[in-house]
Amino acid sequence: MSDFKVTPLDKDTDFDNLPFWDVVIIGAGPAGLAAGLTTAHRGLTTLVIEAKGEPGGQPQFLYAEKKIIDIPGFPDGITGEELSERTFRQAREALVQFRFQEELTDIEETIETGKDEPLKRVVTTKGSYLCRKVILACGLLHYPRKLPVLDALEAKQVHYKVPRVNDYDGENVVVVGGGDSALDAAVMALQRGAQVQVFVRKEHPAGKAKSVERIQELGGEILGKTEIESAQLVVGRIVLQTNSGREIVTDHVIVQIGFLSAKETFQRLNVALSDDGSISIDPYYETSRKGIFAVGDVHGDIKLIVVAWAEGIQAAIYAFKEITSPYWLNERRLHDHKLALIGEKVSRAAAEVHRPN
């Protein structure tokens, strides 16, 4: 079948009750969106799982307003936000399905089958999904973990980095988190005159005992087993309801609950990694685990949007070929000039290294 033919998905497909997905993609950045619309354009049911609350990846979260000038076809540039919106819309129109605020935690092999193919189970923070192929497109960056309960506030007083404030005199600050960075943020705010409460999910903070002592010396309060259940903005102040039924009114919330780290996820997935911690792939973007592909920044040397797009599209087509003609990749590898060339180059390079001067 031609690589150019679009076979749309049936718009009446009951995506909520599929026994399994053809393809599950992790990450709705440039690589994941391009891969998704490519598999959906080939009639494969496609689910994209995204840890954040919206699609776009780095162009959306790190440089939404920057004019990107190196995308072919956009001579006047395009902002990260607009590019993300357009690619997402295109994927949605191709009937790609999305789950947001859901994070990949594991990929298990199962004994279940679908269309005579063994299925994998993609496990996330909210559930699990059976599928035939997985494409990892989750980038390499570390994003600060967000607290969805605060999303609706859009308040300037909610901080995911420790804000550069010289003076909190008389103001109330709630710090969320029990690790070292949360405790350091609490000490900093106390030293600048704030009244500080630290919300810790566990009974005791995990950070350094010295920092805990310092917080107590400076008059801060540490509330163990405390989580925010709801938050409202009332005349410029934030009103928090906690799980223990307390109402706390504050001027700032500093959230320090760690980072969303793709690398931590890779280690759990049991795929071979390169020395720099990125995922190793073969010339077909397949990882050391059969049926799991990796594209974009997750492995790449060249970290660019168009490269992420191109790799997402290529891996999507290889996944499609494997689905429509099982063992396509194995057969291809047996007669593969790319692999032969790589082998040849490796032995030539080794001979050059060992050649006496």
Ligand X SMILES: Cc1cc2nc3c(=O)[nH]c(=O)nc-3n(C[C@H](O)[C@H](O)[C@H](O)COP(=O)(O)OP(=O)(O)OC[C@H]3O[C@@H](n4cnc5c(N)ncnc54)[C@H](O)[C@@H]3O)c2cc1C
Whichever of 69 and 340 has its CB closer to ligand X, that residue is: 69
Angle formed at CA 29 by CA 24 and CA 32, multiple of 5 degrees: 30
User: What CA–CA distance (Å, rounded) separates 140 from 32?
Assistant: 13
Whichever of 40 and 186 has its CB closer to ligand X, that residue is: 40
Q: Residue by residue, what is the 3-state secondary structure of 269-331?
A: HCCCECCCCCECCCCCCECCCCCEEECHHHCCCCCCHHHHHHHHHHHHHHHHHHHHCCCHHHH
Binding mask 184-203 for ligand X (x = CB under 6 A): --------------------
Q: Pick from 233, 304, 317, 339: which binds ligand X (CB under 6 A)?
A: 304
User: What CA–CA distance (Å, rounded) separates 300 from 279?
Assistant: 9
Q: Residue 167 contacts by C-beta under 8 Å, 6 or more apart in sequence?
A: 192, 193
Binding mask 241-280 for ligand X (x = CB under 6 A): -------------------x-x--x---------------
Residue 108: CB minimum distance to ligand X, A = 15
**Please, which of residues 306-345 interact with ligand X by CB under 6 A?**
306, 308
Whichever of 32 and 177 has its CB closer to ligand X, that residue is: 32
Residue 298: CB minimum distance to ligand X, A = 6
**Please, which of residues 35-94 interact with ligand X by CB under 6 A?**
49-52, 57-59, 62-63, 68, 70
The site for ligand X (CB under 6 A) is made up of 26-32, 49-52, 57-59, 62-63, 68, 70, 103-104, 137-139, 141, 143, 260, 262, 265, 296-298, 303-306, 308
